[in-house]
Structure 1
Amino acid sequence: MDSEALPSEIQTLLRYTLRAPPVSSSAGTPLHLTDKDGFAPEGDKRFKKLIDGIHFSQKFILSYQLVLIGVLLALTAIHWGSRLRAWRRRRNTIKGKYEGDKTSIGKAAEGKGAVITESISRGSSSSSSTLQEDFHPKYQDSERTLDEGSLLLPKASDAKKPPRKWTTSNKIRAWLVYQPPPIPLVNKTLPSNGTTIVVLAFLGLQIFYTFFKTSLLLSMIFVFADRTSLVFVANLPLLYLFAAKNQPIKLLTGYSYESLNIFHRRLGEVMCLLALLHSAGMIGVWYTVLQPAGITLIRFLLIKMILLGIGAFLAYEMLYFTSLGSFRQRWYELFLGIHVVLQVAALVLVWFHHRRSRWYVGVALAIFLIDRLVYRISVKTKTVRASLDVQQDKKTVVLRAPVPAQEKHKWVKSMVGAGITTGWKATEHVFLTVPSLAPKHIIQAHPFTIASKAPTAHEKEANLELIIRAQDGFSADLVRYAQCHDTASIRLDGPYGSQAAVEMLQDSDRAVIVAGGSGIAVAWPLVWSVIDRAAMQDLEHSTSPANRKNILFVWIIRERSHISWLGGEALEELRARGVTLATSAPTSEYGHPNIAKIIEEWVNGTDDQASDRGKIGVVASGPDGMNRAVRNICSSLLREGRDVSVEVEKFGW
């Protein structure tokens, strides 16, 4: 800007740039058009670069939405293309098994009436446990007694290892699956390398749209401040879309909101930084232009538009600080309440701060209200009576609720969503509210994974179970309440969740499911979904027991009493279905088992029952350390040439 510009001209310029007309009409604005004070910014050469920069930013930011739509379409094509290939693969596999069974039956009929029988209790490999009072397995190669410090599975003596395939593709996949150790000193858990690459690419997109053709000269600082505000408001709909429990991204790409939580958090951090840069830029405008013209900082800050901007800035910065992991873990209930109030307040302030932001704010507000009011309150919520059962450790409550079942067409459920009365699927979760605990809990909703088997289509009443471990706040209040009350009225909002893990295991030849502690709430219905799907295929196509899917189910428990969460009978039933069942000795007494070696030995031991090209699906749900160990053994198996896919079920990072 020209330092010789008159203060009245500067104020007119700020009014012009802050209230710039739509891009479509600016090109045709006559240069002689003047402000009410007689000043025409468009026709003044002193401000031409500034005006051109602002107009370019307004046009350039429109391409950001096109890029997002393009990425969404690409992910949609990838997801549905993979689902189509998986369907064809299952169809061909079932067809091959069916034809093979007919051949074997025909050969048996040629014999002298021989009858071949095989017990279903024979698993794919010998099951074992380090809990001696539960299981006493024997092995064909030797009779081996396990103590609490031994491995869950013995090393297979004659296992056939597939030949190593050191291909570039395997190396890249292995590196993408690998999860590095936590950051030293701060002990910050990192995601897998693949997730990190995607997040960095997303952050790079934000940097590109912030700095592309933006001058950092002091004379052009207003253009930079304007660009940061445009990138900020352009991201508002995406921020609220990532956070919404009910949104179309899951239907299109298969990614549910909890899978997108890491992008919601990183985008929120970027937007807070953009708000800070915008505020700093506007202070820079005052310091370099308005202060020399005699306008004090107080006078500048008391302008209505600036005051509204300050309020929006403070609201989003408070959202960031109250969303930090340390704050959420310590004051989770406070975080829930503040998050909703600050979101609404921030959107209202941005709406009145600048009219150019109103289209983006309107879309974001619509996403927020439709998710909260239309779906979560009107469609997804159901109130039922539940029993409360305090477990032996006195720190865990198993909540059981009979849910009346209602039939709903699959396509309707997929398109518009449905509540808990239409059933749920493995790995899905609900938001639980127990109003009778205390007045503050009436408006609080806490997420818990459904620990019971998914109901079948013909059940008139489904049994829903939640395993709730006492931490503090809501969960601690619930445990204390359950010690004095057998039942409670509860409100369920859901179900929610992605089926990526279920689909991956069902598409695999061998399945590995690892649970740590209360991660059993994810693993238990998941293993049953795999068993039920395999049993249905066996029934429909008469496949022999030798063709059944090999399944390894590992449960790492902290206390011996945690077995009571499921009960010994339930575990025995699982083993009777042909699952290789392994439970650890209590880690509080004997330390953590070598989960990587357990998986590797089981995979080697089943290589003689699966072809080299057989796909292995692995799902882990538990503490960060266990999840990382599972990821990294899968990375090692990929480097060896095996076809391995891994999913970790947890909320965010």
Structure 2
Amino acid sequence: MESSALPSEFMPILRQALQAPAQPSLKNVSLHAMEEFSPEDSKRFKPIIDGIHFNMRFILSYQLVLIGLLLVFTVIHWGGRLRAWRRRRRQYSKKCQEQRKSPARSLLEREGAVAVESRSPGSSSSSCTLEGDATPPHKALEEEQDEQTPLLLKTQPMKLSTRRRLLTSKIKACLTYQPRPIPIINKTLPSNGSSLAIIAFLGLQIFYLFFKTPLSLSMLFVSADRASILFIANLPLLYLFAAKNQPIKVLTGYSYESLNIIHRRLGEVMCLLALLHSVGMTGVWYTLLRYAGITLVHFLLIKMILLGIGAFVAYELIYLTSLGSFRQRWYELFLASHVVLQVVALVLVWFHHPRSRIYVGVALAIFLIDRLAYRMSSKLTTLRASLDIQRDKKTVILHATLPLITHRNLLRTLFGKQDVTKGWKTTEHIFLTVPSLARKHIIQAHPFTIASPAPSAGDQEASLELIIRAQDGFSGDLVRYAKAHDSVAVRLDGPYGFQSAVQMLQDSDHAVIVAGGSGVAVAWPLVWSILETESSKDPEDGAKKTNKKGVMFLWIVREQSHLSWLGNEKLKELENRGVVLVIPPPTAACGHPDLERIVGDWITCFDERSKIGIVASGPDGMNRTVRNTCASLIEQGRNVSVEIEKFGW
């Protein structure tokens, strides 16, 4: 806009710009819309109109970029699954060939002593003898490879190949490493790999915010418009990342729990975009409209501006109530406000400007399909569950026996109920509602990992257990209720989740599982799942209850009484199945164990060429220690993969 443009002429062009159709230039705008302007005035305002039109065209490429990224991650995920499948097939074929070539040797392996040094509760030793009394397992593997492996595989790798592997190991270790929390504010940071992905996503937002965006005061309206149109373009993505039922999980392997961190960062970016849009439009009033006699009150009371202010306040409140400090202290208020404010904000944005309605419609459809059409109709189950107060008086075990629906056909699979009566998978979770606790709990749903092993194919019924630790709000009310009642009617929403950790351990030669406190709700079903999978591969080994995979399980508890969450019978069952079980002394009495030493010693017991999968579930500090221990081993060239299962958010 030229500096000679009169402020009084800006109000009509403001109305025209906000309602401008997607035309390439001003000459295509209808005459009656521009009847207030002379040809000379039209030339002065043409840059603003063209800037609005460019914003509308340019934002369409953003959707194409998102689709392209989705395709890339889909190819990466399914390519990895294909490679893992081929690797398992090669291992199975090799095993079959060995059994055919040397049946006597295979028989000796099955009948020979497999001495597993299991750890009784309270032991802190990290010895890793898995086979035999004195010979480390990796030596046995080397001897076997000396007899069976072709000589060509023993050729020394080239120096260039070695340098490449070292460089690859260093890069992977750097991406795996998790920095310490930010000082003072104690903000937990993700791994470097996750941080780089988030930074790249934020860079994409910055590019679309500033590309060919005029930054002069005369074009302030165009800059504010770019912020608003990027905001509404992100609306469907924001609600898609928050949806419990979404196609992204199937395509890329990332469940909504994994995408939750991007959902939060995107929400923060959108709040910033809304702020920039609001500040920009206020700047338009200050630099132009107030000289035309338009007061600030008059400007704010314009219907369109008033609706925009309401949407801005709603989304800022969503952000403030989503902060970790608020969410942990007033979780129930966070749940209720999150749902109500989202609906209110979408309605206000819908009426704020017609240009946003297609994006708002898609976002609202995602929200309603996920919350109502899918979760309410096909994921809900109501039943009665028993309540068992543990010895620490601060933990309750919720138990329910479910009859399973075993008869399935294509129509029921596609359109029938998909709740827990169809069973669940390892590491999946449900949302628990207990209406009888109080009125406020009728509409609240709290996530809990299913702490019991997943039912097997053909089971007629299943045992579902939840470990619930008393804190403020819902969990505290439930523990107090359990002290006077031995059962309660509950509503279960789920199951939800993805088995990336299970798949990683199944694709590994050895499995190490670390749990801290109630993180055992993830670890116990995971250990059992690995044992059952190995048994199903070789029925004779399953009957002998051996530990061919070399499963190691470390459980760190705060108090000795917490061992009752599983009980001595279940722990003894793990020992009988050959699991190396270590439960250090309670941290409340003896402090935290040396996790880095225990996990490091375990991993170094395995053959250097073995693929080792590690899963940790517990407090953030424990998870970070396990992840960084793995990062140091990866840097040394060990083939280690690590997954962190957070049991709270």
Is TM (by shorter chain) over 0.5? yes
Q: Whose helix proportion is higher, 1 or 2? A: 2
Give 1:322's aligned residue.
Answer: 321
1:34, CA displacement in angstroms? 3.8
Distance 1:652 1:544, change over 3 A: closer
Distance in 1 (CA, whole Å) between partners of 2:299 and 2:41 is 26
Give 1:585's aligned residue.
Answer: 585
Q: Does 1:283 align with 2:274?
A: no
Distance in 1 (CA, whole Å) between partners of 2:535 and 2:119 is 23
Distance in 2 (CA, whole Å) between partners of 1:421 and 1:543 is 29
Which deviates more, 535-544 or 466-475?
A: 535-544
Distance 1:566 1:367, change over 3 A: same
Distance in 2 (CA, whole Å) between partners of 1:54 and 1:541 is 70
Which deviates more, 628-637 or 49-58?
A: 49-58
CA shift digits 1:442-487 (9 cap, x unpaired): 1000000000000011111111000000011000000000011011
Distance in 1 (CA, whole Å) between partners of 2:330 and 2:356 is 33
1:128, CA displacement in angstroms? 2.3
Q: Does 1:639 align with 2:613?
A: no
Distance 1:398 1:56, change over 3 A: same
CA shift digits 1:361-413 (9 cap, x unpaired): 00000000000001111100000110000000000000001122113469975
Give 1:472's aligned residue.
Answer: 472
Give 1:153's aligned residue.
Answer: 127
Distance in 2 (CA, whole Å) between partners of 1:320 and 1:229 is 17
1:100, CA displacement in angstroms? 1.5
Task: Check conservation: 1:449, 1:522, Cα contact below 8 A.
Answer: yes
Give 2:152's aligned residue.
Answer: none
1:578, CA displacement in angstroms? 1.6
Distance in 2 (CA, whole Å) between partners of 1:359 and 1:416 is 31
**What letter is aligned with 1:332?**
Y
Distance 1:433 1:545, change over 3 A: closer
1:289, CA displacement in angstroms? 1.1
Distance in 1 (CA, whole Å) between partners of 2:527 and 2:537 is 16
1:294, CA displacement in angstroms? 1.5
CA shift digits 1:425-451 (9 cap, x unpaired): 111000000111111111000000000
Give 1:508's aligned residue.
Answer: 508
**What letter is aligned with 2:70?**
L
Task: Check conservation: 1:551, 1:580, Cα contact below 8 A.
Answer: yes
Distance in 2 (CA, whole Å) between partners of 1:352 and 1:172 is 49
Task: Check conservation: 1:32, 1:43, Cα contact below 8 A.
Answer: no
Distance in 1 (CA, whole Å) between partners of 2:38 and 2:382 is 63
Match of 1:117 among 111, 117, 121: 111
**TM-score, scaled relative to structure 2:** 0.91
Task: Check conservation: 1:251, 1:415, Cα contact below 8 A.
Answer: no
Give 1:142's aligned residue.
Answer: none
Give 1:379's aligned residue.
Answer: 378
Give 2:98's aligned residue.
Answer: 100
Which deviates more, 36-45 or 326-335?
A: 36-45
Give 1:423's aligned residue.
Answer: 423
1:542, CA displacement in angstroms? 9.5
Distance 1:31 1:103, change over 3 A: closer
Distance in 2 (CA, whole Å) between partners of 1:192 and 1:574 is 32
1:547, CA displacement in angstroms? 8.4
Distance 1:443 1:214, change over 3 A: same
Give 2:151's aligned residue.
Answer: none
Task: Check conservation: 1:450, 1:466, Cα contact below 8 A.
Answer: yes
Distance 1:116 1:582, change over 3 A: closer
**What letter is aligned with 1:20?**
A
Match of 2:119 among 120, 128, 135: 128
Match of 1:62 among 23, 48, 60: 60
Task: Check conservation: 1:382, 1:493, Cα contact below 8 A.
Answer: yes
Q: CA RMSD in A?
A: 2.6
1:91, CA displacement in angstroms? 1.2
**What letter is aligned with 2:119?**
S
Give 1:521's aligned residue.
Answer: 521
Task: Check conservation: 1:42, 1:51, Cα contact below 8 A.
Answer: no
1:510, CA displacement in angstroms? 0.6
Give 2:11's aligned residue.
Answer: 11
Distance in 1 (CA, whole Å) between partners of 2:378 and 2:225 is 41
Which deviates more, 155-164 or 554-563?
A: 155-164
Distance in 1 (CA, whole Å) between partners of 2:51 and 2:567 is 68
**What letter is aligned with 1:69?**
I
Distance in 1 (CA, whole Å) between partners of 2:310 and 2:66 is 29
Q: Does 1:78 align with 2:69?
A: no
Distance in 1 (CA, whole Å) between partners of 2:65 and 2:77 is 18
Distance in 1 (CA, whole Å) between partners of 2:203 and 2:5 is 38
Distance in 1 (CA, whole Å) between partners of 2:413 and 2:528 is 22
Task: Check conservation: 2:25, 2:50, Cα contact below 8 A.
Answer: no
Distance in 2 (CA, whole Å) between partners of 1:651 and 1:518 is 8
Give 2:530's aligned residue.
Answer: 530
**What letter is aligned with 1:355?**
P
Which deviates more, 347-356 or 396-405?
A: 396-405
CA shift digits 1:39-73 (9 cap, x unpaired): 27897110122122111111110000000000011
Task: Check conservation: 1:178, 1:631, Cα contact below 8 A.
Answer: yes
Task: Check conservation: 2:531, 2:547, Cα contact below 8 A.
Answer: no
Counterparts of residues 480-495 of structure 1 (less than 5 Å):
480-495=480-495
Distance 1:561 1:291, change over 3 A: same
Give 1:459's aligned residue.
Answer: 459
Distance 1:412 1:282, change over 3 A: farther
Distance 1:580 1:485, change over 3 A: same
Counterparts of residues 260-299 of structure 1 (less than 5 Å):
260-299=259-298
Q: Aligned pair count?
A: 623
**What letter is aligned with 2:466?**
L
Structure 2 portions without partners, runs of 5+ = 143-155, 157-161
Distance 1:579 1:541, change over 3 A: closer
Distance in 1 (CA, whole Å) between partners of 2:523 and 2:83 is 26
